[in-house]
Structure 1
Amino acid sequence: MKILAIASAGGHWIQLLRLQPSFEGHEVVFMSTKTSFASTVSGYKFLVVPDANRKNPFKMLSTVLSVFKHIKAVKPHIIITTGAAPGLIGIVIGKLFGIKTAWVDSIANVQTISMSGKIARYFATKIYTQWPDLATKGTIYRGNVLS
């Protein structure tokens, strides 16, 4: 199975790296917003995309086009993301291509699912929270990735 693992910088990337043991035995391609992160996943294919957020719509368009191009080239069986914008874009594009997707909401979101996570609910195959109190019928709790 080919996995495309997407995360933006900071805590999103750290949490994605914590999921790495669950990818064993699969072909994994990592995607993020910082070229320097390639060294943290040496031995794996690494793709870089522009960072974006809702405050900069022009940069967001650049990110959408870049993520689209990479997904089309990689042809993953599943897209897994810990957020934020590049991951959400990957989830939406994945749905358009019929790819299974998983959103893992950040552990920083203690009281409510993130805004991106709320949007991802409409597109992702599975939504995971890292807090038991945030689990609902459509949001799954299986523990957290930082413990």
Structure 2
Amino acid sequence: MKVLAIASAGGHWIQLLRLMPAFEQHEIIFASTRQSFSETVSSYKFYAVPDANRWNKFKLIYMGAAISRLVLAVKPDIVVTTGAAPGLMGLLAGKLFGAKTIWVDSIANVEKLSLSGRLALLFADRTYTQWEGLATPKVHYHGNVLS
């Protein structure tokens, strides 16, 4: 199986890296918003993607197009993300091109899912929280990736 693991910088990236053991039997391709992160996954393919947020719609459109091109080129079987906007766009593109999609909401979201996580619920095949109190029939809890 080919896994595209995508996340924005900071805590999202760190949490994504903590998920690596779950996919070690598969081909993993990483994508993030900082080219320098390629050094942290030097034995894997890595792609830099544009960053954007909900406050700049034009950048969101540009980012969505770039990530869609990446998903189309990589042809992953699974797209997994810990957020935020680049991960959400990766899930949407993955879903459109036939990949299974997994959203893992950030451990920082203690009281409710992130906005991106709530949007991911609309189309992700699986959505996970890292807080047991946020689990629902649609949001799964199996522990956290930062302990």
Whether 1:132 aligns to 2:132 is yes
Q: Deviations over 1:118-143 (max 9, x none)?
A: 00001100000000000001000000
Aligned positions of 1:13-92 closer than 5 A = 13-92=13-92
Structure 2 partner of 1:114:
114
> SS state of the match for residue 111, structure 1?
coil
The runs of at least 4 consecutive aligned structure 1 residues that moved more than 4 Å come to none
What is the alpha-carbon distance in structure 1 between the residues aligned to residue 24 and residue 99 of structure 2? 20
What's the % identity of the aligned pairs?
62
Size of the alignment, in residue pairs?
Answer: 147
What is the alpha-carbon distance in structure 2 between the residues aligned to residue 50 and residue 97 of structure 1? 20
What is the alpha-carbon distance in structure 1 between the residues aligned to residue 88 and residue 22 of structure 2? 21
Task: Normalising by structure 2, report the TM-score.
Answer: 0.99
What is the alpha-carbon distance in structure 2 between the residues aligned to residue 25 and residue 44 of structure 1? 13
Q: CA deviation at 1:115?
A: 0.4
Which residue identity is paired with 1:141?
Y
Q: Deviations over 1:9-60 (max 9, x none)?
A: 0000000000011111110000000000000001100001110000011111
> SS state of the match for residue 51, structure 1?
coil
Whether 1:98 aligns to 2:66 is no
What is the alpha-carbon distance in structure 2 between the residues aligned to residue 128 and residue 3 of structure 1? 17
With 19-28 and 73-82 compared, the bigger mean Cα shift is at 19-28
Q: CA deviation at 1:99?
A: 1.1
CA RMSD of aligned residues (A): 0.6
With 7-16 and 17-26 compared, the bigger mean Cα shift is at 17-26
